[in-house]
Each structure stands twice: as structure tokens, then as C-alpha cells.
Amino acid sequence: MLIKAPAKINWYLGVLYKREDQYHELDMLMQQISLYDSVFLDNAQELSLSLEDTFSVPSTEYNIAFKAAKLLKEYSNYTKGANIVLKKTIPVGAGLAGGSADAAAVLIGLNKLWGLNYSLDKLCEIGLKIGADVPYCIRGGFARAQGVGEKISPLKIDLQYWLVVVQPKKGLSTKNVFAELDLNLLNRESRIEDTIKALQEKDFAKLPLSAKNDLQSVCEKLNPDIKKAVNDLKKAGARHAMMTGAGSAVYGVFASYKPADKAYKLLIQKYGKCFLCYTLK
């Protein structure tokens, strides 16, 4: 069985406050894109995980996809296992939710393979125990995510956007990024509704005025190449460019395929990890 695990971008990431449990309350606007990992699943007596290509992620029980399979097996009391093979394409430490997407794909796939018939709500409940982005990756689409990311409100969008995604060489640790964040320096005004409207109407004039990522300034200090990549995307014709998640990947939004393809061919010469893709509805 093959399950595709799409990456996501943040159109908006607002950090509201630090909670008593030490997590941060967030208000985010997210969408899946056509960049994806491939997850192959087969029935087996025991659980195992391997990587199809050499990639800098653990292929043992430290891997979030393996943790998802192990948790689902324990929760369901399933007596056998599965062979899990990951073919990675989504960069690591990029803010694209590659690991969470893999975990979500494993939960969705094993739910079918093992005949468990759990609802999406139940899979999201299980997935949240593994990572905050996993419930969104299970549901997918264009959505607003609140709380730590688990409160998901699907949104309607009929338009598709062409993107060029670039990852500067150095990835970032989400934990380190939040540790450096000074909440007192953030603009508290919420413009998420304006961002939703701009995207639904394909208003390239208003999108850059409302879209934001509260983590970007911190990440630019930790890795100055992020700011350079944003500027390079704008110079290459992006109508809007911003960092996704806790970095270090940035994306540029283009009016159509042709300018996106032209920018991709230009930027791939400078950045090894550069992807031409589009949003998924």
C-alpha cells in the first residue's frame, strides 16, 4: 500500500501566549502542497521501519512514523505488525511538517491495512499524542489550526497557487526557536481573517499586508540565510515570500506556473533544496 504524505506551509502563524503546560497557544493558517514523502506499508508479523534512500532521519523507534505505528498497535491491541518503508523528499528541519506528515500517513494507512475502521477524529486524537501537527496532517486541506495546532477548522478555497520552496542549508530546531522567542516584541493584532480573504480572492496586493509568521524574525537571527532566501524569491518574481513553520524553509507565491518555473530554474542553481510545487485544495 502506498500513502502519500504531503508537506504543508503556513500562510499565517501567530503566537498568542505561553500556556501553563509550557506550550504556546497558536493561531495558524495552513495548507498542504504537492511536495510529498511516500510511505509504503505491507502486512508483517512485527513492526519495522526502513528508509528507501539515505536520509538524515532515524530509521529506528526514534522516528515519529514508527512511534505512530507503535502507538496505534498498542491502542488497538492489534496482534501483528507491518513493514513500513519511507521514501523521503520533504527536507528535515524545514517547518514543512515532513515528520508529522509521515506519522499521519502511517496512521491513515495502517487504519486501512489492519481493518481498524477508526474515524478521522479518533486518528487525530491518537496523532496528537505524537505531535501537534499530526492532526492537521491527517485532515489536510486548507484550514485554520488553533491551540497547539490540534483545533482544526477546515476552510473553503477554490484557487490553486504555484510556489517555489527553498530551504537554506542549515535546518532549525523548533524547541530552540521557541526558546529564543520574546513574546513582548510581537504585534498582537490578528490579521488572519484578512489573510484568508486575500487567499480566497487571489489578492496579491493584500496578501503580504496581512500574512505573517511570528517566528520568522527569531529564525532570521539564528540563520541569516533565511532572510536572503526570502529576498531572492522576491527578486525572482514572487508576489509574496515568507518562512513556513519554525523554519528554515521559505516559500514564494507566484501568479502562475510560468513565472514560478522561471524562478525555480534560477534558484535551484543557488539552493540545493529547491522545489516547484502547488497548493492542494
188: left (phi over 0), alpha (psi -120 to 50) or beta: alpha
Which of the following is catalytic: 37, 102, 133, 232? 133
Tell me whether strands 2-18 and 24-44 are parallel, antiparallel or unpaired.
Answer: antiparallel
Q: Is-catalytic flag, 8? A: yes
- How many helices (H) and strands (E) the chain has is answered by 10, 10
Distance, in Å, from the CA atom of 231 to the CA atom of 44, rounded to the nearest integer, reads 49
Distance, in Å, from the CA atom of 133 to the CA atom of 144, rounded to the nearest integer, reads 12
Q: Is-catalytic flag, 133? A: yes
Which of the following is catalytic: 8, 73, 88, 273? 8
Phi, psi (degrees; rounded to nearest 5) at 144:
-95, 135
Q: Say how many residues make up the chain.
A: 281
Per-position DSSP letters for 67-124, written without gaps between them = HHHHHHHHHHT-SSEEEEEEE--SPTTSSS-HHHHHHHHHHHHHHHHTT----HHHHH
Residues acting as catalytic residues: 8, 133
